[in-house]
Chains A and B, each alone.
Chain A
Amino acid sequence: MRKSMKKLLALGMSAAMAVSALAACGNNSSTDNKTASTGKDTSTTQSSNDSSGEKVLKFGVQMYSDGLIDPASQTNEAWNYMRFGIGESLFKFNDNMEVEPWLADSYEVSEDHKTWTIKLKDGIKFSDGCEMTASKVKASLDRLKEEGPKGSSTPEKYLEYEAEITADDDANTITIVTQKAYVDLTGNLANPVMAIVDVDDTKDFSNETIGTGPYKVESFKDQVGYTMVANENYREEVPYDKVEILFMGDASAKAMALKSGQIDLAENITNVSDIKDFQDNDDFTVDIASGVRTGFSWMNQNGVLKNETLRKAILMAIDYDTICESNAIGGLYTAGFSVLPSTLSYGYDKLKNPYAYDVDAAKKLLDDAKIVDTDGDGIRELDGENINLKYVSYENRLLNDFSDAHAQYLAEIGIGVTADYGSSDDQWSKLVAGEYDLNNNNWTTVGTGDPTEYLANWYSKSEADYCGYKNDEYDKLYEELLAEFDADKRAEIIQKLQQVLVDDAVAVIDGYYNSSMIYSKNVGYAHIHTADYYWLSTEITPAK
């Protein structure tokens, strides 16, 4: 009795699934047939592949957000979805952080920057074989309005919930009408949170989200990783038949796994010594890309560092080039003096740095300002008190090493530093509470292809002005930037903003963080991009 019930149930369920699968790809019956047949194909290739000739990539990655891949839920999930080559978005960033069409073909924008008409590429398919129609794209973007408020990936930062999206399947376009004007919505649409998912056909958004990328999930093992297979519906040839994504505990684990041959490819090994080892070893290739992250220390201007002379002397006392080239940092950072990375096209070359490294000048500056050591303990005094800066920092991307190095250089000119290193949460809460003199951290500067949000860190009317900096000229320029829509003029304003910050000595710049990818002889080519969103792509190919 029970057995027959079960059988009936199973029959019913499979029938229901078949119906839903038929319904999923719309009314085009020929597509349905194709899906069914390709489905069969996969199963046969799999069994034959086990014996020989299958191209497999083993990719060691850091595990973020437990490896989940729902873009609407958490920012890191969105990044996973794109980094693992499962999902793509309408636009993408090239290595100069310029926006390029990806799933989109072209776009038009109205005069008032409120109506964006995006033409989609023809013939794009999801990995389940369904066509990526304009309606599907609309459904994917609309899903963010529904799911976004439940999660923490804040899609409204990129596209307001009030935006009206209409799809025209015949013309293969979507039109987005927004209430506020966007300077460049395409950069926002390039963010992984805005990646396109197949809303109707995805059963499990946590681990089996269906996207348009070159690979699709075959299976997921909690805390271990994903087994991915080539998406046979991809628009180009996919170089690997199978990709094992393996979660690694930390950078040393990745390095050891790579050395022992357990993995073929690893992203962002952050131990300088390990990177050096790989660079010296002919069996491995190290690809380092200048990233868009800036490491910098805030200078709290509500404390002793409100003294501008002191701030300037601090900047002149530190040998940035030597630190970045030292064996301790070696290549993971590129030295620079502006808050925006030198690789971005915001006129770094035209900026002037009045506070380049010069110990003697730094000492003279302090001496002239009567900030001197009167009691002979080696530490200068300001207003009768020893200058002892509280340096908040945390163990990430070599920040503590930078802080140590800065302290060492400052000791040379008679400025005391007390280290206060803790977790990233400590660092953040002390930054917000203003309990620091120097506070070292690492920021993505152009998350949407534009530094406006990041530059609010020094805009005195912004909540993000955590260091109490106020300069009317900066505020005025920043407000101009908010109102300016012309790209060239914006770049000009951003250059001026940078120069104001440099002149006012607002931050100690560690350098610009470089991302890396390291691979063994099993891999022919791999590349890490400036934007940290793209890891697994069709560029990564097996060795011949």
Chain B
Amino acid sequence: MKKNFFLKNISFTIFSVLALLIILAAVFAPLITHGIDPLNGSLKDSIIAPNAEHIFGTDKMGRDIFARVIYGARTSLVSAFAVVFIVFIVGMILGVVAGYFGGIVDAIIMRIADMMIAFPGLVLALAVAGIMGASIKNAVLAISIVTWPKYARLARSLVMKVRNMDYVNAAIVTGSKTLHMLVKYMVPNVLPTLIITAATDIGSMMLEIAALSFLGFGAVAPTPEWGLMLSEGRAYMQSAPWLMVYPGLAIFITVVVFNMLGDGLRDILDPREND
């Protein structure tokens, strides 16, 4: 039975293994890099092309790019998961509350959400991060602030679909408490769709964090972060391409893996696409 499941969902299996590998690489970064410090280099070794000692070369400060790319996975994964977790929780709670109670509560929550959506996401995130100052924490907050309405709208519409169904009314009539109603009847209706959305969003959140860092509003030097590494290597695109190629590849591979994983998860969880 179990074997069957993995064989049936071959794409999900492959990409979950790959995603696991990326996560393991982040967790065991010191082992993989043989203890090379991603923050410490010698200016004597600055901008060396890939060789046996530094397989990805070195950057401007003489730091090993391989170590920085591996350690960069920690920053990227942790911040991307943090964003997804925050918007998942905040969006779900606000959306469910808005959909269940309706009226003035719904109006207030959803108008705030509309305001957020009416503005280009990354531009608003740039403004928020710019006001709060550059740091990876603020970047996570900024992106969360512009992303939660998507989840709130989704949760609200799913709640409203079942809000007036007979079994819900029956539960209310039989005296179920409001909290019980939300947790037992509303949230389970919302969860599968939100989980799928969250899984497919991991990749794009990673991109947004990298974009903020690239523009100088996210991670701060000398943090190993892929977006920041791209920005640092920008001036050397022609003469020392390895400064940009490896962090670029890291972003590309990780985003593809998590996007495909999200797609795989959707195929499994979304009943409409299951035969």
| Chain B residues in 8 Å Cβ range of A345 | none
Q: Are B216's CB and A273's CB within 8 A? A: no
A407–B222 touching, CB < 8 Å: yes
Q: Residues of A contacting B48 with CB < 8 Å?
A: 327
B43 and A276 contact, CB distance less than 8 A = no
B43 near A405 (CB under 8 angstroms)? yes
In contact, B47 and A421 (Cβ under 8 angstroms): no
Q: Pick the contact of B43: A274, A319, A418 (CB < 8 A).
A: A319
Tell me the A404-419 residues at the B interface (CB within 8 Å): 404-405, 407-408, 411-412, 418-419
Which residue of chain B has the shortest Cβ distance to A251 in the bound complex? B235
- Tell me how many residues of B have a C-beta within 8 Å of chain A: 22
- A427 to chain B: closest CB distance in Å? 13
Contacts of B236 in A (CB 8 A): 271, 273
Which residue of the partner chain, among A327, A404, A411, contacts B221 with CB atoms under 8 Å?
A404
Whether B239 and A273, one on each chain, are in contact in the complex, defined by CB atoms closer than 8 angstroms, is yes
Quick check: A326 and B43 within 8 Å, CB to CB?
yes
Give bound CA distance, A252 to B46, whole Å: 20
| Residues of B participating in the A interface, judged by any CB pair closer than 8 Å | 39-44, 46-48, 60-62, 134, 216, 220-222, 235-236, 238-240
Would A326 and B46 count as touching, CB distance under 8 A? Answer: yes
Query: Would you give the shortest CB distance from B142 to chain A, in whole angstroms?
Result: 17
The minimal Cβ–Cβ distance linking A262 to chain B, given in whole angstroms, is: 16
B239 & A274 in contact (Cβ 8 Å cutoff): yes
A252 contacts which chain B residues (CB < 8 A)?
A: 235, 238
A328 interfacial contact with B, CB 8 Å: yes
Contact of B41 (CB < 8 Å), options: A273, A401, A408: A408
Q: In the complex the two chains form, what is the Cα distance from A269 to B272 in whole Å?
A: 59
Question: Cβ of A411 and Cβ of B39 under 8 Å apart?
Answer: yes
| A252, A273, A323, A421: residue with the most chain B Cβ atoms closer than 10 Å | A273
Nearest residue in A to B240 (C-beta to C-beta)?
A273
Distance between Cα atoms of A158 and B235 in the complex (Å): 38
Whether B221 and A273, one on each chain, are in contact in the complex, defined by CB atoms closer than 8 angstroms, is no
CB-nearest residue of chain A to B133: A420
What would be 7 A-B contacts, judged by CB atoms less than 8 Å apart?
Answer: A271-B239, A277-B238, A326-B62, A327-B46, A328-B47, A411-B40, A420-B134
Does the CB pair B239–A404 fall under 8 Å? no
Contact between A419 and B222, CB atoms less than 8 A apart: yes
A277 — which chain B residues lie within 8 A by C-beta?
A: 238-239
Taken together as a complex, chains A and B put the C-alpha atoms of A277 and B42 apart, in Å, by 23
5 extra interface residue pairs, beta carbon distance < 8 Å, beyond A328-B60, A418-B220, A419-B221 = A273-B238, A274-B238, A404-B60, A405-B61, A408-B61
Indicate whether A322 reaches chain B with its CB closer than 8 angstroms: yes
Q: A271-B235, A326-B44, A328-B47 are in contact. Are A404 and B222 (CB under 8 A)?
A: yes
Closest to A409 in B: B43
What A residues does B60 contact at CB under 8 A? 327-328, 401, 404
Contact of B220 among A271, A326, A419 (CB under 8 A): A419
What separation, in Å, do the CA atoms of A322 and B44 have in the docked complex? Answer: 6
Best-surrounded residue of A252, A271, A408 (most CB of chain B within 10 A): A408
Q: How far is the CA of A323 from the CA of B44 in the complex (A)?
A: 8
Q: How far is the CB of B243 from chain A (nearest CB, A)?
A: 9
Q: Which residues of A contact B39 (CB under 8 A)?
A: 408, 411
List the A side residues contacting B62 at CB < 8 Å. Answer: 326
- List, in ascending order, chain B residues with CB within 8 A of A405's CB: 43, 61
Name the CB-closest residue of A to B41. Answer: A408
Whether the Cβ atoms of B47 and A273 lie closer than 8 Å is yes
Bound Cα distance A420, B133 (Å): 9
Q: In the bound complex, how far is the Cα of B61 from the Cα of A419, in angstroms?
A: 15
A323 touches B220 (CB 8 A): no
Contacting residues, chain B, for A251 (C-beta < 8 A): 235
Contacts of B220 in A (CB 8 A): 418-421
CB distance from A34 to the nearest CB of B (A): 52
Tell me which residues across on chain A come within 8 A of B41, comparing CB atoms.
Answer: 408
CA distance A205 to B60 in the complex (A): 45
Least CB separation from B47: chain A residue: A327
The answer for the CA separation of A451 and B111 in the assembled complex, in Å, is 61
B44, B48, B235, B240: residue with the most chain A Cβ atoms closer than 10 Å:
B235
Q: Are B44 and A273 in contact (CB under 8 A)?
A: no
B239 touches A408 (CB 8 A): no
Cα A328 to Cα B239 in complex, Å, equals 12
A421 to B235, CA, bound (A): 17
Residues from chain B with a CB closer than 8 A to the CB of A322 are: 42-44
Complex CA distance for A319 and B238, rounded to whole angstroms: 28
Residue of A nearest to B235 (CB): A271
CA distance A405 to B62 in the complex (A): 9
- Which chain B positions have C-beta within 8 A of A404? 60-61, 221-222
Tell me how far the C-beta of A278 lies from the nearest C-beta in chain B, rounded to whole angstroms.
10
Complexed CA–CA distance, A411 and B63 (Å): 14
| Separation of A75 and B240 alpha carbons in the complex (Å) | 37
Bound-state Cα–Cα, A25 to B222, Å? 64
Instruction: Give A325-357 as 1s and 0s: 1 = Cβ < 8 Å from B's Cβ atoms.
Output: 011100000000000000000000000000000
